[in-house]
Amino acid sequence: MGPGVAARARRTAAGRLCPADTADPVDAAAAELDRLLATAAAPLARAAASREIARLSAVVAASLAEFARCRPATAFDRQSGQRGAMSAASRAARPVALTEVSEWAVDEVALTLRIPGPAATAQLAEALVLDERLPGTHQLLARGKLSPAHARQMINVVGPVADDGLRADIEAHVLGLLGDETPPQLGDCVRRIVLRRDAEARPHIAIVDQLRAAWWPFDDGGLAVTPPNGEIRVSHPPRCGTDLDLPPY
């Protein structure tokens, strides 16, 4: 390659790496904007998998509820007063939804899902409430039109309403109002409706409000929570320490 040809090649390469000062900056900015818009389309489409996560969450809930119904306490647990039976304090601390479910069901769920006992207890109880007491919420979750976080607000606040007819009426009313509310906004809306229509649920909602705080998960499955009083409490699996002393729900 002669000196002239090499010089022209170098100038051409430099021009590709560093556009000439005469290039239109507006065209360059527009090209960069087009590139960013095109590049972002694929990851944004993948993010739509959150709807599939919601649908799978409904499947998990239905499956756990079906499993729980196959573990009746009367068939698997020692009755109160028998040697080796669950203590009265432990029985009272269980979620109401698990009253008729064997104490060993939680261990099976924890082992299968590889989660700590407290998390298995909560997930099993939530699954039963969603599957048996909130059919409308479960259906929307199964169709991907409701996120798991929204469904949990319904479980925590509407689920405990004792009267079946009133609970169904409240659920239908709330879901009919559902728009673009975030989970906390939905929770505030549900609390106002339940407090207005169900006096028996007020003590439960008071407990839930006391626990409204920031949560931080740990790798070992534990949680740290800061209640409104600012006192940080930590929950770890049994091998790491004691469980968080929270009231049952």
Burial of 115 (0-12, 13-18, 19+ CB in 10 A): middle
> Cα(156)–Cα(249) distance, rounded to whole angstroms?
8
Residue 207: pLDDT band (50, 70, 90) is low
CA 185 to chain centre: 15
For the whole model, what pTM was predicted?
0.66
Interval 63-114: pLDDT, tens: 999 999 999 988 877 777 667 667 767 777 888 999 999 989 999 999 999 9
Contact in structure between 150 and 186 (CB atoms under 8 Å) = yes
Query: Residues 120-133: pLDDT tens digits?
Result: 999 999 999 999 99
Which two three-digit tokens encode residue 130? 């969603």
Residue, of 50 and 8, whose pLDDT is higher:
50
Is the pLDDT reported for residue 204 higher than 80?
Answer: no
Residue 236 has pLDDT above 50, yes or no: no
Q: How confident is the model at residue 3 (pLDDT cuts 50, 70, 90)?
A: low
- Tell me which residue of 126, 78, 59, 57 sits closest to 98, measured CA to CA: 126
Indicate the burial class of 183 (C-beta count within 10 angstroms; 0-12, 13-18, 19 or more). Answer: middle
Cα torsion for 228, 211, 87, 68, to the nearest 10°? -160
Distance CA 201, CA 194 (A): 7
The whole-angstrom separation of Cα 34 and Cα 86 is 65
